[in-house]
Amino acid sequence: MSCSSPTIAITLDRVSKVYPGGHVAVRDVTLNIQTGEVLVLVGTSGSGKTTTMKMINRLVEPTSGSIRVGGEDISKINPIQLRRSIGYVIQEIGLFPHMTVAKNIALVPSLKGWPKPRQNERVAELLELVGLPPDQYAKKHPHQLSGGQKQRVGVARALAGDPDILLMDEPFGALDPITRGQLHEEFLKLQRRLRKTIVFVTHDMLEAIRLAERIAVMDGGVLEQVGTPREVLAHPATRRVADLVGADATLKLLGLCTVEQALEALGAESPDALGPVIRSGDSLKDALLTMVACGRASLPVVNVDGTLRGRVTLQGLQTALAGQEKDRRPQGAARGQGTHA
């Protein structure tokens, strides 16, 4: 009997982990991860994110509960086989220093016994994909790469066996904010192309908001809330989630919307041609900050080419925010567990 719909890639069913010594790292977590979605596990240090993730590729065995991947109970799958079918990226990257970039990337294909030419093809293809020209990087050793480049290789390596699922544990944690931002962009671009099922761990709510289709908030081993970034920001289910979201949730929420979404027609009064303007692709957060900085209640909106488009007003921002909050509706039965207070 199959109890998982075909669109569900990973199911955690009342999963708990008690480490030797009695520490309950994960408590009764139930969670469905949909095929092709980016689910970000977010929570403070020690909240059980890594433990939860490692149970999915059996680096950690649950104390109770069950996990299904592709509908199959993973306790019945050979862990070696399971891991080769799931990409894994960790914060420390864990590139092998004695192997070239090419060897690192080809590791899973070689374990799977792919013929050499196919491995080489795959290496070149993946290096292209993560933006590292193969002729320049394939023969390098990890110590010759910058932190950001190492992360790209880490991601390429995780993708090498063409897994449907990727587990990423704070992969961008050790990078400077600019490199991190770049990699976020590339991550999203890559994901639009590849549509992998991705479980992504971070303790940074902003990163979660940026990357997630759904956020799963953990605290003290308990899954506190699962929802889209907007749902979590607008309606934190518990005090702990609200704390994690922070006092500036409104600002973060505005950061998720573009000016386009609050665009109004120009009023009767003609806009001040010399005053500040905002581009239609900018975020509402930028719009608000510009208004505050210039002491205005409305701003002209321009297209990328500078032509006038309309305007955005403080009132409009409030309406957009309210709309956000009304919008939120559970998206079917697949989500919702753990959303209650």
Ligand X SMILES: Nc1ncnc2c1ncn2[C@@H]1O[C@H](COP(=O)(O)OP(=O)(O)OP(=O)(O)O)[C@@H](O)[C@H]1O
Entry field: residues in the chain? 341
Q: Nearer to ligand X by C-beta: 19 or 96?
A: 19
92 in contact with ligand X (CB under 6 A): no
Answer for which of 19, 75, 315, 325 binds ligand X (CB under 6 A) is 19
**How many residues bind to another protein according to rule CB under 8 A?**
27
Binding partner of residue 310 among Mg ion, another protein, ligand X, none, CB under 5 to 8 Å per kind? none
DSSP string, 100-162: -HHHHHTHHHHHTT--HHHHHHHHHHHHHHTT--HHHHTT--GGGS-HHHHHHHHHHHHHTT-
Count of beta carbons in the 10 Å neighbourhood of residue 274: 6
62 in contact with ligand X (CB under 6 A): no
25 in contact with ligand X (CB under 6 A): yes
72 in contact with another protein (CB under 8 A): no
Q: Nearer to ligand X by C-beta: 90 or 102?
A: 90
Measured at the CA of 41, the angle between CA 37 and CA 42, to 5 degrees, comes to 135
In the window 198-227, what residues touch ligand X (CB under 6 A)?
203
Answer for which of 81, 303, 315, 318 binds another protein (CB under 8 A) is 81
Spatial contact of 43 and 219, defined as CB atoms under 8 Å apart = yes
**Tokens linked to 201:** 């761990």
Which range binds another protein by CB under 8 A, 80-88, 252-260, 287-295, 316-324? 80-88
Spatial contact of 49 and 43, defined as CB atoms under 8 Å apart = yes
In whole angstroms, what is the distance from residue 35 CA to residue 209 CA?
A: 19
Shortest distance, CB of residue 128 to another protein, whole angstroms?
21
In whole angstroms, what is the distance from residue 195 CA to residue 205 CA?
A: 22
Answer for which of 27, 36, 46, 141 binds ligand X (CB under 6 A) is 46
Q: Which residues bind ligand X (CB under 6 A)?
A: 19, 23, 25, 43, 45-51, 203
